[in-house]
Chain A
């Protein structure tokens, strides 16, 4: 879904680097593939570094090509984090898209650093005990010129952000929440709906940070005040992965949402 939206947003002059994940599989079998873009498929932890070499090669060949790294949350938060951090710190000139489905969905949905508290996965059958890793904030601490979040629930916002990212030079980070019906346990027809619920309940903030200036996207503006947020339960109850959630876990998740927004408010003030 996100891949198609990117196609609409970025136009033709794009080269992809796809690290191990679902997107390595949905291309289909060689020697054919189902992508309209040239793609370098590469090992899990190598995407940002390969992109660092690729955009420089295009520059040396005087070609105006937007290099995009396509990675899952496992490849971003866990095994590829050193490579991501290095490329962000060097302010390498490419767009990094993290397709965040909050687990290792390609290998069966095992927990990752990006899995939220309380979620049941094959490797956390009792529910994950820790909170989701704050990738966007971590990226901001790398002084990158552009960092944003989006959700497949709001494709226009997502495409706007990609278009804006394309005009900026340097390291651009976009994290897209992509609800996975098989890992999150809901009916696949509700994918877009769940993506919207995540935003409406303020679990997933839609933000855009350009050169350190934090901007809350329209769809998330109601989250700035606690009273106007939709109850978190509306997002959690449609998913089977939260079936083990007890009252304490629920409170934990609520305070996680509060914490996130407090932090955003603080960033907006500075």
Chain B
């Protein structure tokens, strides 16, 4: 008997399984030169889309929702929220 009919409600981890952000983000975080690489943004980001690369924070825009938490928690106000075009 072929077992092809057997499918199960099982899922496996995959990057971006929650879907990409698309074009509904209204503001985006932009890291300026003031960044001291302290990782506060990485710690608080709900999406895991910002982190320190080298000595400066880097944003992964594909999944960033533009919530602005990073800009708010940054101790040196190094992140600016810029309107999307």
Contacts and interface: CB of A to CB of B under 8 A. Distances in A.
Interface of A: 1, 4-5, 26-36, 152, 155, 181, 187-193
B59 interface: no
B72 A189 contact: yes
A189 B17 contact: no
17 contacts: A1-B44, A4-B45, A27-B11, A27-B17, A28-B19, A32-B12, A32-B14, A32-B17, A33-B12, A33-B14, A35-B13, A189-B67, A189-B69, A190-B72, A192-B69, A192-B72, A193-B73
Interface of B: 9-19, 43-46, 48, 67-69, 71-73, 81
B10 to A, nearest CB: 7
Contact of B9 (A26, A30, A34, A190): A30
Contacts of B10: 30-31
A193 B72 contact: yes
B20 to A, nearest CB: 11
Nearest to A181: B67
A189 B71 contact: yes
A216 B48 CA distance: 30
A36 B11 CA distance: 11
Contacts of B73: 192-193
Nearest to B67: A188
Among the interface residues A155, A189, A193, which one has the most CB atoms of the partner chain B within 10 A?
A: A189
Contacts of B67: 181, 188-189, 191
Contacts of A31: 10-12
A264 B64 CA distance: 40
Nearest to B9: A30
A261 B46 CA distance: 31
Nearest to B63: A34
Contacts of A32: 11-14, 17
Given A4-B46, A35-B13, A191-B46, A28 B72 contact: no
Contacts of B19: 28-29
Which of A32, A34, A187 is packed against the most chain B CB atoms within 10 Å?
A34
Residue with the greatest number of chain B CB neighbours at <10 A, chosen from A26, A155, A188 = A188
B17 A28 contact: yes
A156 to B, nearest CB: 8
Nearest to A2: B46
Q: Which 8 A/B pairs are nearest by Cβ-Cβ distance?
A: A189-B68, A28-B17, A32-B17, A28-B18, A32-B14, A30-B11, A188-B67, A33-B11
A34 B72 contact: no
A36 B45 CA distance: 17
Given A30-B10, A33-B11, A193-B73, 18 more contacts: A4-B45, A27-B11, A28-B17, A28-B18, A30-B9, A30-B11, A31-B10, A31-B11, A31-B12, A33-B12, A35-B13, A155-B43, A189-B67, A189-B72, A191-B44, A191-B69, A191-B72, A192-B73
